[in-house]
Amino acid sequence: MDRIRIRGGVKLNGTVPVSGAKNATLPLMAAGLLCDGPLTLTNAPDLADIATMRALLVQHGLEVAHDRQARTLTISGAATNLEAPYDIVRKMRASVLVLGPLLARYGQARVSLPGGCAIGTRPVDLHIKGLEQLGAEIEINAGYIEARAPRGKLRGAKIIFPQVSVGATENLLMAACLAEGETELVNAAREPEISDLAMCLMRMGARIEGIGTGTLRIEGGATLMPATHPIVPDRIEAGTYACAAAITGGTLHLQGAKMEHLGAVARVLRDAGVDVAETHTGLTVSRLNGLRGVDVVTEPFPGFATDMQAQFMALMCVAEGAAMITETIFENRFMHVPELMRMGARINFHGTSAIVRGVPKLAGAPVMATDLRASVSLILAGLAAEGETIVNRVYHLDRGYEHVEQKLAAVGADIARLPA
């Protein structure tokens, strides 16, 4: 199993190209089930999760061409198999996003329950309840969601989410495009990836109002057509490299990043003493003087993203003073804390909150990644630490960060992947 070695203490300077967003690409690929296509996605990242979704769509009967050099994904064809099997779905929870499109277009679907996850349970009950409001009949049998539309078609409805859910919003948004009549999604997620999906669906011929707000209105029944859509830049990757600039005291230009996609992350970084400036090609990030401890609470967009919590905690480990970090989205998202403490971080945590008291220096150590964002937080800590850090179990990293060691090495980091 590959490892990543970092020798810290080097200021990072230069330009980092921000890849297309993983969390946007996965639902966009699922949207390819809604028409015969082709649906061409540009600015496509090369990630393990993308390969998993490609495998899922191919086993449904679609053709998925991934041109890595041109950075495009082209999805075409009709589904010949309406079952999403456990062996694929267990690898990635986003696989459940095929449920809404399959049910809406073909009138039935059989999709494995995703199962547990290292950072939390993330149940799919909001997906199921929403589809039932659209007229679906759903049963859970032998670990599978078995769904059908009694008349072969879903019908529009007003759906009020009891809490914000990105995945449920995406699934129901796609399903509503082919349902009969109007659907209104209230308390819908507002993440940039939701807006990106809606814009793609409109390019395919869907009729959607309220993009970027908490209420989406979809006039269903449209025939969706071939389209080409550019994938939005990855705001979490941009925020991660912003933390890399700050934790090393360097200056990075994040090519393609957009300020409006960062939400509260930009404000919190500024409060901590980090300059984040928008340019005509992206964002420039640098540390002004010393870092200051800042309290954060994770919230749905435009609040502070839970996917940035671990990276920001690494930054706070070398800030002056203390920071309280409260996680409200996932119940097990502090598993990186013991690994940061192995590197000399001073962190006390109880329940959903952690108190981080900054130290002058971290020390390199062997550490183990427990999930995707935890893995990159340990790389950030290694960039700031004295000595050598070895990050084990980096297969997590490959799910969501494209060529991270090459990108960091190109801006001065002493980093290398060590093959198993």
Residues classed as catalytic: 117
Residues constituting the chain = 420
Q: Report the C-alpha gap between 39 and 76 in whole angstroms.
A: 6
Contact of 203 with 229, CB cutoff 8 Å? yes
Residue 153 annotated as binding site: no
Query: What does each C-alpha distance from 28 to 23, 59, 201, 225, 232 come to in angstroms?
Result: 9, 17, 9, 14, 11
- The tokens describing 348, both together, are 């006390």
Q: Report the C-alpha gap between 47 and 53 in whole angstroms.
A: 10
Residue 23 annotated as binding site: yes
Residue 28 annotated as binding site: no
Residue 125 annotated as binding site: yes
Q: Report the C-alpha gap between 151 and 148 in whole angstroms.
A: 9
250 phi-psi bin (left φ>0, alpha ψ -120 to 50, beta other): beta
Contact of 385 with 361, CB cutoff 8 Å? yes
Residue 267 annotated as binding site: no
Residue 158 annotated as binding site: no
49, amino acid identity: D
Residue 162 annotated as binding site: no
Residue 91 annotated as binding site: no
For CA atoms 196, 197, 201, 204, the dihedral sign is positive
Query: What does each C-alpha distance from 264 to 243, 269, 321 come to in angstroms?
Result: 14, 9, 21
Cα end-to-end distance, the chain, whole Å: 4
- Residues annotated within a binding site: 22-23, 93, 122-126, 307, 329
- Residues annotated within a binding site for UDP-N-acetyl-alpha-D-glucosamine: 93, 122-126, 307, 329
- Residues annotated within a binding site for phosphoenolpyruvate: 22-23
